[in-house]
Structure 1
């Protein structure tokens, strides 16, 4: 026994609630982190490339691939007929998303064949030699056009309803109607889609996939191969970004690589060019929101009737749950007495849209915030006053449109603290004074809140597993079902395990996610990665600790209560033993030092048919104040300052959480300001490269960027160490940027008219809004730009 005093007995290095760097941060910076394209290729590895169609909607009348097959280095050319199992990778099970299209083209760029060649460049060159005949059909790419053309819905629409909407609207003292268009967004991850398949014995195959959902890739590969899931092993060490784009979109690449590998009995890698990647993979859903709002003179909303129509693309993918979640967040932080919210997931001849950070929630929330803004301008009030007047409150004002009671509401305190710390009121007054005397540059400021529900709305996804091994030298191996895409999940889960065993963080080694170790994993999505996998890892540790405590109690004849894990040691009665020495002793006594942990989120339930339940375990809250300057002659603008106060409960790792908030803010700001998807009249995506699609640059970040965690917050639910999710909730904070731009534009008409900026509010849209209000001022004789009558 070691009885000497030591600093390590009072604390561990890197436990929960401490700021620690990302476990691979140094590798990311130096370029030494291994991604799939960095892996050593076995001798004879082949490379795949996809052949794309060039029609938005057409029948395939002929497919001549002779020149492709005869091209240099080509080993095989695959079509839908070469899929040995089922030619479908639809995550919804609707059989509407072929691995390779057959007979009909449903969007411009849809893959119809795959070339397998000795090198990627040879496969790429060969793919261009196909001759495809088409019979053109009418196509629709726009949401509103799809509604007018009566294009079909891609999935069943959801309706959330509470109260009597007709009576509520009729009784409201005031009423307004409006429409808002909300653009989509490309994921633009640093590492594009890629899959690498190595054939095994019999029907076995191992696939390295850049995916957020290894178990779904496993299932889809098995489905396409015509085999069972235990024949397919999917591995993921890390991704260079995902943001939801690798939840379902990885299926196609993995399936094609695996089919080719098994057919040719050689390793096969497939990685598209960035242009092709952007053309053939899904985006954030575009929305058109139509709303009818009843309210009173004080700005309190009495009734909301709104429809959220979405551009879903050619197949169902995840459009059903995405459009559902849009409705779940259309209330944001606000209570609606009478409410009806309806989704319209519209089919269009575009790539099938998919998951993206927030999963429809940002679009729903933005629609709800537009209603608040319209009410504020109609009443000539600061939008923040209207927000406060409509916040969820106590009994009678605490039930959502989906009939879940808001029990953990802290938005009032967050907004109050941020309003004071950012000096919002004084700055707003100063900005109004500035605008009265500035003929060209106008400024705006806005404070917007966030309430975001945490859990998968598909209840069965709210589960996770983990596998923990303690080796006889005291080192610990951790494998869990989550995937690392740069967000720091592995670091947080390792911190949880370090805390459980009371060992230093460097004692823990996390290995690549693999379906061969933890089965039936849920996607790393819905901000649930740490919540689920952290709890599963803790459960595994607790199983092992229970065995170890029983062993120590028996061997040393002390009560179990006197066996305690303390920093890097175990206290047994009045004596200490180093953790590694204790584990060695337990091994020699044949104590099982491995456990499979499991966790399922409690208390949640959801009945979609009735639109009632508790789909979310808890809510994460936050708020942001953004200040902007706009050049009214060009529409160009800059974000001058941002202040954020965000709720992460008892943060597991404040450094990682602040990084997630900052990154989410800038990515959300890009969605709302610069990132525009544009299809031409032939259905071709023209914004398919960095040259035509503008994500935020380093120079676009707020000039002053203050981010603070609400360190007083603690999750009322027993989540992992009382923390809260941080992946998606802060993405909606930059709604404040859009509304600050709106205020700057509204100053043209003395803040008497809602600016109604659609998203993204590109400089062109801002300029058009400015000109529109100038014309309105001139026509109506309203107060003009200099405060005088126009």
Structure 2
């Protein structure tokens, strides 16, 4: 009789490296995206007509020439909306599908042309004649504040301790301002939606969306039908990064409206210019900070205001600006603190979710304060960072420095160990001394090095989103069908969930069929966002698998006359007492005995709660930690720079798939580095976005990556909370690791004036900004006789 040891081992299940399920399809071009779906005869194509002023009252809109253009089938305006003219994700009724009286930003969609080809629709959209009464506009947070400071949503305040006496008692105090630029998502696959009408109220929309349920509800809301009439399908996306969480609503709605109006399929796919102009981005922030500290660099008090460019409508600006405050402490304990958000309305496209969801802006502001303290006291910034970590002993010898500004205890702190290991493995101290020695010689090329930490809370701050469902079928041939509410955007979510299911049943990975995400199978799903995809959907899938396993165990025990504890799942086999039965065989027997082989799984995150009005609670289930060390070289005559080396140690708990997680860390670092160095959004005085294509907006290239790039996972880490297989989220936390490049650039610039002051670089630190900072410090140093 076979034993467990002689059964063929299973490979690529949880905690093992497993190739992305679509990797070969991606590189060979066989992966099917929305635009690859074969179009039925009669498919129509839509294109948006947009506003040409940043703010104005619509006096008239003549679309006769548009309707008469070759190939045009019709035009959709606000008058054609059968239900509600609103696609605001938070229900604020401030984001019309098409405006009726006022345009709020340059590029604001006014109507949609429906034609027999995309080219015909695009050309016809240019023929509209719109007359405006031009109104004053404000484009950035400071201009909006000066114009009266209209808020698009309620601000948040987090407060703990007493800042006034702490400021009075502290020996040192610094006030400053930091401007932090936005970022375009620049996904490989842009926005797209393809709608096919059905009978009665039914419509099916295939889209590149991170939030199928929200798209479903929005289409139903605008069409004036119940949600059960609308089906949203997503097989995969060519990147999302948050840009397809709420911004896809408009495109799904337009395609569905056209499909139902003319009873023909309709596709809408804007070109890259319109995609970048008409859809939201990462929020720009202006942070005013006031920090008090002692002679050792330990922070005594912090008072900060986070003003954000939100755009003309609320979109997700409320939770984004909230989250900036949640991460404004990064890995540091503030004994006395007050943090306030200022979500300002601007005449720009409504900004939206982006990887990190406001957290990166909060973290980089925290690192700026650490940097300010270090230069003021003449210390290594890493020394100041360590002195302020959560969990450090207080003046009275206590270790009670664990309470965040939002009154959650940091119970799983490992930042000391992560940083200490990276400091040693990256040989930070010796390399920093080498950098100092190099810069002391003068010369054109200056170097910088920085080691920065990250602590990132995991969970949706909107508590109700912390739930997920799954649907699992085991067919009578032993094959398994997996569906869950998460969406695959290249991050490997489907691969991880399939690994979890295969591991639960102890069957080969290839036995599990990964199917498209669809609102027909799993209802009321949350967005695949907030780094929660694996946490939520993995647990929901495991719940479904365990339900079916329990039925199989009961059937196996009853059919063989043994106790249930004598039934064990082994590789592709089930031990029942002394008998080994192939998985396929037992499943077939169970089917013949009328055992239910399907289950809907469900999971909701425990322990979390949040009182926004009080600014207190436990918004996060746990924290993920990481650290990065980057070394750079800058040319002080041109401002150009290279990243010479980066070392990363990142905490993902007990990794579900180390190779996929490492890829996420690498990609997040590069994207974060791009946000802080090269990716500059620029509007002209008329409110036109001028960086609206890859020709004018620079994302990192392969040549921009660190010359030496070492990435390791903290293999010793195990999540203390009961997450899926004790893993931790990996989507967003490593994005902040790119801050080490920004801080290293700052050190290189500071060397021009012998490190006597903080350069106060604004982000992104483009070569232009680096050069201007060098010139500013050099001129100031000369005036001071340095």
Report TM bin, short chain: over 0.9
Q: How much has 1:6 moved relative to structure 2?
A: 7.8
Q: Following TM superposition, by how much is the alpha carbon of 1:9 offset from its aligned partner in structure 2, in angstroms?
A: 2.5
Match of 1:330 in 2: 328
Query: CA offset at residue 166 of structure 1?
Result: 1.0
Q: Is the 8 A contact 2:170 2:293 kept in 1?
A: yes
Residue 552 in 1 paired to residue 545 in 2?
A: no
Give matches, 1:255-334, under 5 Å. Answer: 255-334=253-332
Query: What whole-Å deviation, never above 9, does each CA across 1:713-747 have from its counterpart, x for those lacking one?
Result: 00000100000000000000010000000000000
Cα distance between partner residues in 1 of 2:234 and 2:520: 11
Q: Kindly report structure 1 stretches of 4+ aligned residues shifted beyond 2 Å.
A: 3-11
C-alpha displacement of 1:10? 5.7
Q: Which residue among 714, 726, 731 is the counterpart of 1:727?
A: 731
Following superposition, the deviation at residue 438 of structure 1 comes to 3.5
Give the Cα separation in 2 of the matches to 1:769 and 1:364. 23
Counterpart pick for 2:42 among 41, 44, 57: 44
CA contact (8 A) 2:4 2:570 kept: no
Is the contact made by 1:221 and 1:255 (CA closer than 8 Å) also made in structure 2? yes
Q: What is the alpha-carbon distance in structure 2 between the residues aligned to residue 177 and residue 67 of structure 1?
A: 57
Q: 147-156 or 351-360, which moves further after superposition?
A: 147-156
- Equivalent residue for 2:204? 206
Distance 1:138 1:396 in 2: 52
CA contact (8 A) 1:151 1:348 kept: no
Distance 2:98 2:6 in 1: 58
Q: Secondary structure at the match of 2:778?
A: helix
Q: Write the mapping of 1:385-534 to structure 2, written as runs, cut at 5 A.
A: 385-393=383-391, 395-534=399-538
Question: CA separation in 2, counterparts of 1:387 and 1:4?
Answer: 57
Instruction: Say whether 1:736 aligns with 2:749.
Output: no
Q: 1:476: how far off? A: 0.3
Q: Structure 2 residue aligned with 1:25, among 20, 23, 26?
A: 23
What are structure 1's unaligned runs of at least 5 residues?
783-790
* Distance apart, 1:256 and its partner CA: 0.5
Match of 1:118 among 112, 116, 141: 116
Change in Cα spacing, 1:513 to 1:8, as seen in structure 2 (3 Å) is farther
Structure 2 residue aligned with 1:235: 233
Shift in Å at residue 170 of structure 1?
1.2
Question: Which residue in the other structure is 1:688 paired with?
Answer: 692
**Residue in 1 that maps onto 2:221:** 223
Q: Deviations over 1:281-339 (max 9, x none)?
A: 00000000000001000000000000000000000000000000000000000000000
Q: Does 1:614 align with 2:612?
A: no
Query: CA offsets per residue over residues 460-519 of structure 1, 9 Å max, x none?
Result: 000000000001111100000000000000000000001100011101011000000000
Instruction: Note the alpha carbon deviations across 1:251-305, whole angstroms, 9 max, x for none.
Output: 0000000001000000000000100000000000000000000100000000000
Identify the residue that residue 646 of structure 1 maps to in structure 2.
650
- Post-superposition offset of 1:169: 1.0
* CA shift digits 1:214-269 (9 cap, x unpaired): 00000000000011100000000000000000000000000000001000000000
Residues 183 and 675 of structure 2 are in contact (CA less than 8 Å); yes or no, is this contact kept in structure 1? yes
Q: Distance in 1 between matches of 2:430 and 2:749?
A: 20
Partner of 1:152, secondary structure, is coil
* Structure 1 residue aligned with 2:372: 374
Which residue number in structure 1 is paired with residue 395 of structure 2? none
In 1: Cα distance, 2:481 partner to 2:458 partner: 29
2:83 alignment partner in structure 1: 85
Alignment pair present for 1:344 and 2:348: no
Which one of 191, 194, 201 corresponds to residue 193 of structure 1?
191
What does residue 13 of structure 2 align with? Answer: 15
Q: Unpaired segments of 5 or more residues in structure 2?
A: 393-398
Compared with structure 1, are the counterparts of its residues 7 and 73 closer, same or farther at alpha carbon in structure 2 (3 Å cutoff)?
farther
8 Å CA contact 1:53–1:111 kept in 2: the answer is yes
In structure 1, distance between residues paired with 2:622 and 2:4: 41
CA deviation profile, 1:141-170 (whole Å, cap 9, x unmatched): 011111111131000000000001111111
CA RMSD of aligned residues (A): 0.8
What is the alpha-carbon distance in structure 1 between the residues aligned to residue 550 and residue 314 of structure 2?
Answer: 46
Kept in 2, the 8 Å contact 1:13–1:503? The answer is no
CA distance, structure 1, for counterparts of residue 150 and residue 91 of structure 2: 18
The answer on whether the counterparts of 2:331 and 2:454 sit within 8 Å (CA) in structure 1 is yes
| Deviations 1:580-632, CA, capped at 9 Å, x for gaps | 11111111111000000000000000000000000000000000000000000
Cα shift at 1:101: 1.7
1:733 aligns to what SS in structure 2?
Answer: helix
Q: Does the Cα contact within 8 Å between 1:493 and 1:530 map onto a contact in 2?
A: yes
- Separation in structure 2 between the aligned mates of residue 574 and residue 445 of structure 1, nearest angstrom: 63
> Which one of 70, 89, 99 corresponds to residue 72 of structure 1?
70
Judge conservation of contact 1:8–1:568 (CA < 8 Å) in 2.
Answer: no
Shift of 1:100: 1.1
Is the Cα contact below 8 Å between 1:194 and 1:269 reproduced in 2? Answer: yes
| 1:331-390 Cα deviation digits (max 9, x unpaired) | 000000000000000000000000000000000000011000000000000000000000
Query: SS of 1:669's equivalent?
Result: helix
1:131 to partner: Cα distance: 0.5
1:591 and 1:458 mapped to 2: Cα distance? 39
- The alignment status of 1:140 with 2:144, answered yes or no, reads no
Distance 2:315 2:2 in 1: 61
CA distance in 2, matches of 1:191, 1:697: 17
Please say if residues 656 and 725 of structure 2, whose CA atoms lie closer than 8 Å, have aligned partners that are also in contact: yes
Q: CA deviation at 1:8?
A: 7.1
Q: CA distance change for structure 1 residues 203 and 525 in 2, over 3 Å: closer, same or farther?
A: same
Is 1:303–1:338's contact at 8 Å kept on the other side of the alignment?
Answer: yes
Partner of 2:250: 252
Distance 1:596 1:715 in 2: 26
